[in-house]
Amino acid sequence: MKNNKILIRCLCLALVGVITFWFYYRQIDVVQKFSLLTEDIKYLVRSGLGKVPEADPSTMIVAIDEHSVNELGRWPWDRKVMAELIGKLSGASIVCLDIVFSEPTNPASDRLLAKVFADNGNVITGFFFRPTASQKMSAGQLDILHDSAYSNFTLLDEVAGVKEFPAAELNIPEIDQAALAHAFFSTEPDLDGLYRRYPLVFTYRGYLYPPLAIQMVRFHRNRQAALTLDRDGICNFEMGEIRLQENYFGLNFYDPAQSTMISAVDVLRGKVGPERFKDALVLIGITESGVFDLRPTPVDPVIPGVWIHYTALNNLLNNEMLHGAPGLDYLLIALALAFIFLASRIRLFTLRFLCYFGVLGAILVLANYLHIVHNLWVHEFYPLAGVFLLAASLEATAFFFTERRASTLKKAFSSYVSPALVGEIMANPDHLVLGGTEREISILFSDIRGFTSLSEQVTPGQLVEMLTAVHNPMTNIILKNMGLLDKYIGDAMMALFNAPLDLENHAGCAVRSALEMLDQLHEINRSFADQGLPEIDVGVGVNTGKCIVGNMGSKVRFDYTAIGDAVNLASRLEGLCKTYHCRVIISEFTANCLDEELLLRRLDRVRVKGKQESVAIFEPMRRNEKNEVLCRHFVNAMDLYSAGNFAEAKAAFTQLETEYNDPVSSVFSGRCRDFQQAPPEVDWDGVHTLTDK
């Protein structure tokens, strides 16, 4: 019965997982519409929290609005008027038209408009694509258009994922020839008719074309766009600091009321002077409702089409595009289902359902956080739906299996190996074989000072509680800094960084962990004092070097660990903390890997027992004025010590010990006293040789 119950629960998890992943992968239209509705809630949350991003002040819309139409007459205007308007924008960095002049009018007006384009040298004309071919383009028109297509691209496969159009509505050749460049202003709504996305590329007659916003940023920043495409479309898009991996990016909408929109008639009448447009990026578009260039969006049901391009332009300038994260969506679905599966094991009904709703809330909070803070476009509908389906199926299963369940050990595997290692083992079962690989790692050893005498002062029960109170927060610090807890050795602990998974700046993570452990020690001792328990002290040693890392042991029991001289040296460094009266000592190999964020005090050069080579050791310290002054004076004292001027060195160390209460200086003060009484050998090289481990 028990086995059947487990089997059915696992089948529920597998079935719901497959269904959820399949619907996400297939993007079924009906389901996708529900997904879009849930995603729009994030815009409301963002607005309610006052986290709406701000547009770049250098961007603006010159609007052919109702006020302009009332003053100058219905659209379209004589192109002399447009020439006058654009002529007043000559100081702008880029002027882009969300308008197409596809038919010739008065030849003089057309020539005047083209001349203004040429004189300004900053005008990008717009065109749009048609779903059906309606007219033939001349070879000259196509040549002009081709000049503005993407030129730096790599095709990895047939580009089937990029939308292709059979026809385009272009400007008359005279106008297009005078323009700086050209770009399409066609956009596409989602399934429910709302505009949430902005295209990076459409194809026409074998060429890849950019939209208005991309073209404006290209010429404004003088950046070349580089595309890599495969059968699904864009797999990599780079333009300066802009990086995208999809055919579209999500529009990160601004508050329309806060956007800079200037009436065209105010520009023509001189109410807004040329200085207002100095080095600006200007979009000219129609906002008058009678022209019907209106678009529904999640933030406004009726908004001018030019505002879509304005939003995209600012997204690109500020690098605030909403971009998808399919891998994160898959991970979120998997984690949500896993948490629900685990929560269903809770016996107490109320607590179990609180966990269910907690997972739902966590998904919503995470989705909104990623949207607002990291501009990530998470499809939270699918993990939410998966949670509902799995919780319902598991509760139905539990209803039919009413017998008591024996309590079992949870996460037995994770109790003796790290979660990071569990993930690697599950992904690569072959790693369970004995043996290892050589890799550079940073090793941290930590030990409680005077543990033997401490055990004599408290009861065994209190001793266990104290060890737990120390190990819990110290372990959390290691895991937070991406370390792997290798093992507990009584009161000591050993941690690895850069194993089993690669970790950049692993030496920095190890040293940062050591310093954070010292900070945590103050809190632990404060808690012990409140309980009437004795305070403790720790020593931490950190070394970096190449080791053999992997599964060690026997076929019936293995231990993921590291072996090598670098591990032994890390252990010796931890022991040296007692010798030098400090709490953290790192080797020169670790010090060489650190940045300048931390202050390093060079303590000595030592030769450990059993080794001929010496190694420099350092004490890491947080950078502040007091520590910098201490280190500077300590270096001067060490120079005297290394030169054999033991009397002067002793005086310098004694002064540091007195002024800064520096226990390390007291060690060298005593060593100088000893050398005064029994000078070192003539060939003494300043290296301190250790006689024990």
Query: 264: closest CA among 72, 109, 56, 59?
Result: 72
Query: 586: closest CA among 570, 610, 598, 575?
Result: 570
Is residue 119 domain-shared with residue 195, that is, in the same domain? Answer: yes
**Does the residue 465 lie in any domain?**
yes
Tokens of 429: 């079962």
Q: Calculate helix-pair angle for 29-48, 349-374, nearest 10 degrees.
A: 80
Domain span at residue 437 reads 426-595
- If you search the block for the tokens 């065994």, which residue do you land on? 460
Query: Is-contact 346 359, C-beta < 8 A?
Result: no
**Regarding beta strands 281-286 and 94-97, do their DSSP bridges make them parallel or antiparallel, or are they unpaired?**
parallel
**Does the residue 221 lie in any domain?**
yes
3-state secondary structure of 418: coil
Q: What percent of the chain has pLDDT over 70?
A: 91
Is residue 440 domain-shared with residue 310, that is, in the same domain? Answer: no
**Does the residue 263 lie in any domain?**
yes
Is residue 242 domain-shared with residue 340, that is, in the same domain? Answer: no
Last residue of a domain, one of 268, 284, 319: 319
Is residue 105 domain-shared with residue 236, that is, in the same domain? Answer: yes
Is residue 180 domain-shared with residue 312, that is, in the same domain? Answer: yes
What's residue 652's pLDDT? 94
**Cβ-based neighbours of 217, under 8 Å, separated by 6 or more:** 223, 239, 242, 313, 316, 317
What's residue 292's pLDDT? 61
Is residue 307 domain-shared with residue 276, that is, in the same domain? Answer: yes
Degrees, nearest 5: CA angle 145-149-155: 140
Kindly tell me if the per-residue pLDDT of 126 is higher than 70.
yes
**Does the residue 618 lie in any domain?**
no
Tokens of 249: 């990016």
Cα–Cα distances in angstroms (integers) from residue 668 to residues 35, 197, 579, 587, 613, in the given order: 69, 68, 11, 19, 22
The pLDDT tens digits of the residues spanning 316-327 come to 999 999 888 778
Query: 421: closest CA among 575, 232, 220, 559?
Result: 559
Write the burial class of residue 257 (CB in 10 Å: 0-12 exposed, 13-18 middle, 19+ buried).
exposed
Q: How many domains does the chain have?
A: 4
Is residue 451 domain-shared with residue 387, that is, in the same domain? Answer: no
**Does the residue 414 lie in any domain?**
no
**Does the residue 600 lie in any domain?**
no
Is the model's pTM score more than 0.85? Answer: no
**Does the residue 99 lie in any domain?**
yes
What's residue 7's pLDDT? 76
- Phi/psi of residue 118, nearest 5 degrees: -65, -40
The pLDDT tens digits of the residues spanning 488-501 come to 888 899 999 998 77
Exposure class string for 268-307: b at 16+ Cβ within 10 A, else e: beeebeeebbeebbbbbbbbbeebebbbebbbeeebbbbb
Is residue 385 domain-shared with residue 344, that is, in the same domain? Answer: yes
Is residue 30 domain-shared with residue 89, that is, in the same domain? Answer: no
The pLDDT tens digits of the residues spanning 537-561 come to 999 999 999 999 987 776 556 677 8
Instruction: Identify the sign of the CA torsion 209, 213, 214, 215.
Output: positive
Query: Is-contact 295 286, C-beta < 8 A?
Result: no
Last residue of a domain, one of 319, 341, 363: 319
Cα gap 24→88, rounded to integer Å: 51
Last residue of a domain, one of 267, 294, 319: 319
Secondary-structure percent of the chain, ordered helix, strand, coil, rounded to 5? 45, 20, 30
Q: How confident is the model at residue 147 (pLDDT cuts 50, 70, 90)?
A: confident
Degrees, nearest 5: CA angle 573-579-585: 35
**Does the residue 269 lie in any domain?**
yes
What's residue 547's pLDDT? 94
- If you search the block for the tokens 């940073």, which residue do you land on? 442
Is residue 119 domain-shared with residue 33, that is, in the same domain? Answer: no
One-letter identity of residue 103: E
Is residue 185 domain-shared with residue 307, that is, in the same domain? Answer: yes
Instruction: Kindly provide the residue ranges of all beta strands, DSSP E only, lying in 104-196, ordered along the sequence.
Output: 123-130, 153-155, 164-165, 167-169, 181-184
One-letter identity of residue 43: Y
Query: Is-contact 324 250, C-beta < 8 A?
Result: yes
Instruction: Kindly provide the residue ranges of all beta strands, DSSP E only, lying in 201-257, ordered along the sequence.
Output: 202-204, 207-209, 226-230, 233-239, 242-244, 248-250
What's residue 639's pLDDT? 92
Q: How confident is the model at residue 413 (pLDDT cuts 50, 70, 90)?
A: very low
Kindly tell me if the per-residue pLDDT of 188 is higher than 80.
yes
CATH at residue 542: 3.30.70.1230
Is residue 365 domain-shared with residue 503, that is, in the same domain? Answer: no
Q: How confident is the model at residue 96 (pLDDT cuts 50, 70, 90)?
A: very high
- Least confident residue range of 250-259, 376-385, 427-436: 427-436
What's residue 411's pLDDT? 37
3-state secondary structure of 533: coil
